Amino acid sequence: MPRALRRQDFFANRAEPDLREALDLVALATVCDVMQLRGVNRAFVAQGLKIMAKRARPGIAALLDVAGINGKLNAMSCGFGLGPRINAGGRIAQADLGLRLLLEEDPVEARILAQKLDGVNRERQAVEAGVLEAAEFSAAEQLAAGHAVILVTGPYHPGVVGIVAGRLREKFNRPACVGGVAGDLIKGSGRSTPGLDLGATVIAARQSGILHTGGGHAMAAGFGVAPAQLAAFHEFLNTRLAAAREAPPCADLIIDASVSVAGANLDLVAGLERLAPFGPGNDEPLLVIPACQIVRTDRLGASGNTLRAFAQGPDGGRLKTILFRAGESKLAQAIENRNLGPLHLAGHLRAESWQGRESVSFFVADAARG
C-alpha cells in the first residue's frame, strides 16, 4: 500500500508513516486471532513485541499496567493479558471500548478506559464461570448417553459461548458446541479437535436446511438454529463426526524433553526463549520433570483458583510450580495429595519477574504418578 501511494505522490505534501511503529497492533491481532506463528507471521510478532515493549502507544501501555504485565513481553502477554480485556467489551459490554483504548492518545484517558475494560473482563470471567459449571454437567451427561459431539444450550450470554465451547473441548477432548437463546434462534459457537472438521459439518447442516445460519473452519464454527431443529442438529453432528467417539478422554501430550528440578534454571529458560514467540505452528516446548515430591501447596487469589506448589526432585533442588484454573480438578487434587508420593509433572518452564528479580516457575499442564 505505501508503495502504491508513493507512485501517486500521495506523500508529496504530507509525512509518510513509519509502518514499523504499528507492528505492536499487528502482533496483538496475530496472536489473539490464533494465527499460525510461522514465516512472516512469526517475524511480525517477534518485531511487534519489541515495539510494544517501548510502550509508545498509551492504550497498550495502560492495559499492560492494569493487567500487571511488567516483565518481558511475549505472545502470552497478548493472548492472556491484553486480548481478553480488549475483547471483553465486545462480549458483554460496549464493542467499541477496545478500539477506543487503542486509538486513545491521552495517557490519563487511556488509563480510565483500561481500568473499565479490566472491570468488564472480571464480569466476563464471572459470567463464564457460571455458564461453564452448568455446561460441564450437561456435557458429561451427553457423553455418558453415547453422544459423539457435545451440544449444550441454555439461557447463556452470547459473549461467552465460544470460550465455554473451548473449555469443554479441552476438558472432554470432544468437539463441543455451546449456544444461547437469541430471539427466535439459538446462536452459538463450536470448537473441534484435530482431524475432525467442524466447520465443514456446520456448513453441510446449513445447506441441508437444519441450520438457519452456519459457517466456520476445521477447528471452529458458528451457528444459528431454531429450537425445533436442535435435536436434528445434534444428530447431524453425531453422524458426521462419529469418529469422535474413538477419542481418548483426554488429548495425548507430546513431550519435547525431560529436565531435572536442578536443571530447570534461568539459563535453560533463556535457551528456550530463543525459540519464541510461541503459538499455533510453533508450540512452546512441553517438558516433563520426573519423580517430583510436592513439599508445599498454597491456593492463590480471592477465589483460590490458582494452585502454587513447590516440587522437590531427587537431586534435592526445589522448583515453584503453578496450576491455573485449578478449582477442584483431579489434577489439583493429585498435586495437593501428599499421600500419592512422587509425581511426574508435565508443563512449561518460564521466567517470572517480581520487584526486579527474575525466577523460574513451572506451569503445570498434567501430572502422572511416579
Which residue do the cell numbers 438454529 mark? 225
| 3-class SS of residue 91 | helix
Q: For the segment 210-252, what is each residue's pLDDT rounded down to a tens digit?
A: 999 999 988 899 999 999 999 999 999 999 999 999 998 888 8
Burial of 293 (0-12, 13-18, 19+ CB in 10 A): middle
For residue 92, what pLDDT band results from cuts at 50, 70 and 90?
confident
For 1, 173, 212, 331, the CA distances from 184, given in Å and listed in that order, are 44, 31, 11, 41
Domain 257-369 has CATH 2.40.50.140: no
Interatomic CA distance for residues 306 and 322, integer angstroms: 7
For 51, 57, 73, 113, the CA distances from 54, given in Å and listed in that order, are 5, 8, 10, 20
| Nearest C-alpha neighbor of 244 from the set 288, 193, 319 | 193
CATH class of 2-124: alpha beta
The residue with greater pLDDT, 90 or 119, is 119
Which residue do the cell numbers 436442535 mark? 230
Interatomic CA distance for residues 47 and 24, integer angstroms: 8
Domain boundaries, the chain: 2-124, 146-246, 257-369
Which residue do the cell numbers 478506559 mark? 113
Mean pLDDT of 48-67: 96
- Fold of domain 146-246: Diaminopimelate Epimerase; Chain A, domain 1 (3.10.310)
For strand 213-217 and strand 220-225, is the pairing parallel, antiparallel, or unpaired? antiparallel
Average pLDDT, the chain: 92
Confidence (pLDDT) at 301: 84
Instruction: Fill in the amino acid letter for 183.
Output: G
Mean pLDDT of 52-69: 95
Instruction: Fill in the amino acid letter for 225.
Output: V
Interatomic CA distance for residues 204 and 239, integer angstroms: 12
Is it true that the peptide bond before 277 is cis, omega within 30 degrees of 0? yes
Is the pLDDT at 307 greater than 90, yes or no? yes
> What is the pTM (predicted TM-score) of this model?
0.79
For residue 17, what pLDDT band results from cuts at 50, 70 and 90?
confident
Confidence (pLDDT) at 12: 84
Name residues whose C-beta falls within 8 Å of residue 367's C-beta, 6 or more positions apart in sequence.
331, 334, 335, 343, 344, 345, 346
Is the pLDDT at 1 greater than 70, yes or no? no
